[in-house]
Each structure stands twice: as C-alpha cells, then as structure tokens.
Chains A and B, each alone.
Chain A
Amino acid sequence: MSDLRGVPDDFAAAPISLWRRGINALVTFAAGAAVFLVLLPLGAIFAYLVYKGFGSINWAFLTQTPKPVGEAGGGMANAIAGTAYILLIASSIGVPLGIGAGIYLAEYGRNRLGNLIRFTADVLNGVPSIVVGIVAYGIVVLAQGHFSALAGGVALAIMMVPTITRTTEEMLLLVPNAVREAAFGLGVSRWRTTLSITLRTATSGVITGVMLAFARVAGETAPLLFTAFGNQYWNWKMNQPTAALSLQVFTYAISPFDEWHRQAWAGALILIVLIVVAVSAVRIAASRGMMKGAN
C-alpha cells in the first residue's frame, strides 16, 4: 500500500482507533439489545397465551354458549362461529372487489385514474378501524334499524379491500408481458387472457394477498363494537347481532370475573392460532417461491 503514488505512507496503515472500535462495538450491542427488547413482549405474549389459554380450552368452551354471570362453565362456540360467519360475509364482499380493483390497476391502470385509485387505496389502508366502524354503522345499522352480522361484515370488507387490491396488482405485474402477448398472439381475447392466463399464473400470489387481508381483519374488534355488536346466543341471521371472538375477548377481559378472564385467554389463544396459521401459510408459500408467480 505504501508505494501507491499520492498516498501518504501512514494513511493506509493507520489503525482504527480504540475509541472508534469501542463505539462500533457499543452500537452493535445496542442494536442487538433492541432486537431482544422487541422480541421480549412477543415471547411474553405467546407464552402467556399458551400458559393461560391452553388450560381453559376444553370441550365445553368449544361447544357451548356463554353462561350468565356467576355461573361457571360455558364457552365461546357461538363467538367462534360468529367470527367465521362475519369473515365469510366480509370475504364475499371484499375479495371480489379487491381482486377486481387489482386487475384494473395492473391491466388498465397505467394512467392518471390508476394513480388516483392506487393512492386512494393506500389512504383507505390507513383509515383507523374505529372510523370504518362508524361508517358501517351509518350505512348498514341505521338503514336496517339494528346491529347485525351484515354490518360487521361490511366494516371488515372495507378494511380488506385495499390490502387485496395492492397485492393483486403487484402479483399481476410480476407476470411477464410475454405471457400476455403469447395469449394475444393466439387470438385469445383480452378478458379471457386476464382471467385464465394472467390471473391464473398469479393465483398463489393473489391468495397470499387475500390471506394477509384475512389475518388483518380476523382479530379486529373496534369496527365490530357497534356493527356486529356481540350476542350471548347463536345467530345465523344476517340482520341480527352476532357474537365474535374478538368482541367476546374484549368483553371478558375488562370484566371483573376470574372465570371470564380465564375464558378471555382461551378465546385469545384460539384467535391467535387462527391468525398465525394464516400468516405462516403465507410465509411458507412465499418462501417456496410460489408468490413470485411466473417470475
């Protein structure tokens, strides 16, 4: 090094001072500590959920409806079914709408309107869930005259749409143009190309987006408070108040009864298992390269 022209002899050879090395080590340690501090609550939450929840899950919990205050036993069967029901309603509204909007953005949206929709979808994504609840209350509950499963489904559907739209768009854009051109070259019409070829190639990616949206809304509580409202009994009617797991966990958690606290933990454990299974499935699918579509 010392024979490089123009470089002073002692420049390259100067060792990194103890001070600088010390700072470097300190920062590395601090960053590691930050990771530890962030993972600590995660570990604590899961540990507590399993520790408190696992013991409380039994056959009665999974098959019975809540007992009145003061009576032991009872379960959240109606809330588990209610969550599934509300999510079904939400998905049947939100998924087609989200995928459709995603198709529009990817296939026709290279223009000013497309940019506006893209931007609005991001705005919608940031709207607080409680505000979505107010709106669902305004357009469904007030129109129907009472709280209902449909209102809860509409609120969650509104929250699903932006996530599904943006992932669908991204996944469709990953499909190489040559695939579309090949189909056009064979005389396949544009709509058929989009549905049977482009969308089909990106299927697993689109499903990933749907699962992400699903996981996001599955545990939502705030928008259900004054839409689905909760119910102590079974309900399968669209226009009646419906129990939901997240609502039940909330009600039980802030109650003063030990028995209800126990059940709140159990309900939370079931909720988180549902969500973690969904997210992990997505992650595994993504790591196997299925998400990359035809890339």
Chain B
Amino acid sequence: MAVEVCSSAFVPLGRAQASALGYSALPIAVVPHPFGTVSREEVRVMAQECVTQIAEHACAPISAGSAVGGQQQEPVAGLCVKLEIPSAPDAFTAFNKLAREKRWSDGLPVVPPTVERVEAMLAHTKRARNEVIARLAPAFCAATVESIAINAVLAGCDPEYLPVLLAAVEAVAAVDFNLQSIQSTTNPAAVWIIVNGPISGKLGMNAGGNCLGEGVHANASVGRALRLLLRNIGGALPGDMDRATHGQPGKFSFCCAENEAKNPWEPLHVERGHKATDSAVTVVGAEGTMNMCTLAKNADDLIRVLADTMRHAPSNEYVHGSEPWLLLCPEHADIINDAGISKAELKRRLWKESKMRAGVMAAEDFERTQASRTSELGPIGPDTILTISKKPEEIGIVVAGGAGAHSVYIPCFGNTRSVTRRVMES
C-alpha cells in the first residue's frame, strides 16, 4: 500500500493528483507548511506527529463501497459533451456565466464553442475528431482532436490555427518536456510557443516588433488556446493542481514566430533537423522574460553582458544544468554574426562566460545542486565551477523582435527540455 506525506498547502494537489490517477482513496499524512524552511529540531517534532498519522492510515478500515482495482480506460469514442444554453437574452453571456462557474476560462471572456464553430475548426485537419493526440498531465485526460478544436474556439482562434495547436499539444506531452512538473510546480512556469516555417506567415503571426506583447490575433489566441487546454484537459487549475507561487503574465498567452527573414543564422526548426520549407512548433517551459538593453557595438562586449545577465545564483539552470534561452533582437544578432561568430560558437561563448562558482548559492540551493548534478560533475564543493547547461548546445537561441537594441533572457523551469514538432497542414 502507499501513503503520501504532504505539507499542508499541497494537500489539494495530492488529493487532485491521486484522484486523476484513479486512486482517490490515497491516504495522506500532513505536515505543517512551510516544511522546507523549519529547523532540524522542528522536523523531529513533526516526525512524531507524522508517524502516528502513517500508522493510522496504514491500518485504517476500508470504507464500504470502495471501487475494485483497475486502470483508466480509453475515452468512450472520444466525443466531448454537448450542452444546451439559453439563446436569450444572448448565448455569449449565458455561456460565459457557465464558464466562470466551471472554471473553463483564464479569467477573460471566452468564445462559446458552438457546434458550427467547432465544425469549422475541425475542417482544418484530416485527423479523426476522436483521435487522442496526447494525455495531458497532471490530470492525464485525453486531448482529442475535437477537444483541442473546442478549446481553440474558446480562446478565439481562427480555424486555420488548428494544425499549430495540434503540434503544440503533441510537443508538450513529450516525456522530455516534463509537463507534470511544469503544470504543478510553485515556479512561474509557462509554455512559450515558437512557430517556424511558412505557416507563421500564412497565419499572420508576429515575429517582429512587440512579438511577445499584445495586438496580433494569431499569437494571442494560439498561446491562449494552449493554456486553456492545459487547464481544461490537463487539469492545472490555480490553487488546485497548479501550485504556482505567483504565476506570470505568460500564462495567459506566450507565443511568437521566429523572425527568419532577419535571422543571420539557420532558423530554430532547421537547427533541429526540419527542412526550411517545413513548419514547426517548439515549446519551452519558460520562467519569464528579462530584458537586456545594451547599445554594445562590439560582439565580445555584447556576449559578455548577455552572459553576465544569465548568471545568477537563485537559478534553476545552475541547480540542474538546464536549457536557458536567448531571444535575440535582429540588431544584436547582426553584431554577433558580423563578427564572424556562428550560432554554435555563440552558444559556446555564452556557456563559457556564464560559468558560476557553486559557493555563491544559498546553502540549501547548493545542497540541491549537489543532489542534482553530482552524477554529471562529480563531487561538488564551494569552488566547483557550474555551467548553466550541461552542454553548450543546450542553450537555445531564437531571433525575433523589431527595431531596437533589446534582447531577452528567458530562463527555463530546470528539469525540462524544449520539444519541436512539425506542423501537419491539411
């Protein structure tokens, strides 16, 4: 049998996760929150209380009516539920009232997914409407083509955007992406969608000025639709299974195209083995955006200050050896390229110049680093030099944005790797 020990603030996550996995009867022993910051002596006191709870849970009688054992089954025909809402005074208001009650929305008004709108969306794929594209953690419910189309309507997507979303859902469900942790962490982890290839132009996606800001329908609604899927299918509702301490604005929408026309190097999807004529979606477990305003004209100087920005002690990158990202503006990319520095060489330089001494970390983070990276680096002491990623190639570089000397550092969640999937247009 199993027992889970949860700090009190995480009991809702424990209960919801157990229920999602078909084990709602999982016994949970509770320790006070916050647990990680209490003294060694306080842990001893908590252990005494906790051992009593464990014994009670392990030997407690089983209540009548417990279900028999079994595994989750495939969805029944994969068809989503239809509802009738009053058309008067207007269906929009009635549906949005329902969406608030059911927590289907990100907090902003949503578009009612009428049968007509969903059918129009589905016309943009040849895949069967009940095909399961992925199971989305932490609820592990099935994201079918139909449910993806419904949430795309909800977010306000045009029907032509559906293939991009199908690829994005496939990508976030890849094991390396670690959606389970991204969805349930206290970190401000959002999914940054990067679109490459001809489809970004066809859909009018913004790769230029304000590409991470508001104002372009495709960027805003595609990013929003993925977030709604992560809530409504993945089950990551804030306060329940989404345990983010603050979250971040990127959880409303976080989507841009790469500015391939102004990228002096190969675009991201080509770097990852796709043809330039393919369209592809890359998803990144991103923790936020840090603007780097520098008027540096010298490439060496520019790389030095970019690397200095990436290096900071309370960083998941250094604890785990992760995958940090730079969103370079075209002007900075040109300065570096004009100095004869390739994208691969830029990664090597950033990796080398962002190294950090382990001893600058807080003691507890130093211990986490030892636990996480000893197998990679060997014994870690205060004078061990930590790299931001395990290998230089793991630093992500994308070129986007408009005029101006601003690049963006985008730290990642830590134990996650970005995933690229080809967009299959109908």
Do these two chains really belong together in a complex? no
